[in-house]
């Protein structure tokens, strides 16, 4: 698994308004593109999930628009797990303008897991291999954060 790479997207003309500024609805699409890419990199692509009869509908999406993105810009969408308990998953997104490295939009999406009949599933029981991949990625991402916090604490002492 290792280091996750951000999903890259070049802004297309059709994604903008008359002023050449990205329409707000496109950020939600970019979140989905980044989420799909992220899941595939983890080894839990939607195709694999659906082959096992697992669906993952969106429960909610939020987006905070911090700065404008324009036609022709390239952005990197960083996606990672904020919360996961086997039944629900919350992902966070940072849309970063490549040429400046600044965050232009931040968002979240919340998901659950259901079977084809619409009944809730626990990945821990119905797809333990997917559950373990999510857990492992969360743990790997926490390690650098914990290391940084520990180093900051040591510097203060």
Residues tagged active-site: 17
Greatest distance between any 2 Cα atoms in the chain: 56
What confidence tens digit (pLDDT) does each residue in 88-106 have?
999 999 999 999 999 999 9
Is the predicted pLDDT of residue 3 greater than 60, yes or no?
Answer: no
pTM for the predicted model, two decimal places: 0.86
Confidence of residue 1 (pLDDT cuts 50, 70, 90): very low
């Amino acid at each position: 698994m290792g280091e996750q790479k951000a999903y890259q997207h070049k802004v297309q003309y059709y994604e903008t308004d008359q002023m050449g500024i990205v329409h707000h609805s496109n950020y939600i699409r970019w979140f989905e593109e980044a989420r799909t890419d992220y899941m595939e990199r983890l080894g839990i692509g939607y195709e694999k999930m659906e082959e096992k009869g697992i669906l993952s509908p969106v429960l909610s999406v939020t987006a905070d628009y911090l700065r404008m993105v324009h036609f022709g810009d390239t952005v990197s969408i960083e996606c990672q797990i904020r919360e996961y308990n086997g039944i629900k998953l919350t992902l966070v997104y940072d849309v970063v303008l490549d040429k400046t490295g600044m965050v232009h939009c931040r968002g979240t999406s919340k998901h659950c897991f259901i079977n084809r009949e619409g009944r809730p599933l626990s990945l821990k029981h119905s797809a333990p291999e997917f559950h373990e991949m999510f857990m492992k990625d969360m743990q790997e991402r926490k390690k650098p954060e914990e290391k940084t916090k520990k180093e900051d604490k040591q510097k203060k002492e």
